């Protein structure tokens, strides 16, 4: 995600369900730990970990689908 522009990253995050987008933003972009995100989001730490995992997995699939095909 480091090579994406801020605008492109925000567009990708906007495509996630709200709970996933919120925790991915706080964990990955802001750099907070799970306990801090759990407090802010009002969710148990385990739920935060699952939401982050699902959100990142969804973003990876979306990026892979959008990537130009390279033929060998």
In this predicted model, which residue has the larger pLDDT, 1 or 19?
A: 19
Is 6 contained in some domain? no
- Give CA–CA dist 61/12, Å, rounded: 11
| Total domains, the chain | 1
pTM over 0.85: no
Residue 35 lies in a domain: yes
Whether 65 is covered by a domain: the verdict is: no
23 belongs to a structural domain: yes
Residues 4-58 pLDDT 10s: 677 888 888 999 999 999 999 999 989 999 999 999 999 999 999 999 999 999 9
User: What gap in Å lies between CA 7 and CA 32, rounded to an integer?
Assistant: 21
Domain assignment present for residue 39? The answer is yes
């Amino acid at each position: 995600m480091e090579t994406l522009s801020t605008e492109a990253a925000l567009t990708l995050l906007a495509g996630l369900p709200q709970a996933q987008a919120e925790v991915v933003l706080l964990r990955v972009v802001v750099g907070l730990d799970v306990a801090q995100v759990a407090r802010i989001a009002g969710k148990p730490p385990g739920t935060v970990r699952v939401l982050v995992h699902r959100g990142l997995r969804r973003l990876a699939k979306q990026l892979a689908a959008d990537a130009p095909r390279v033929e060998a």
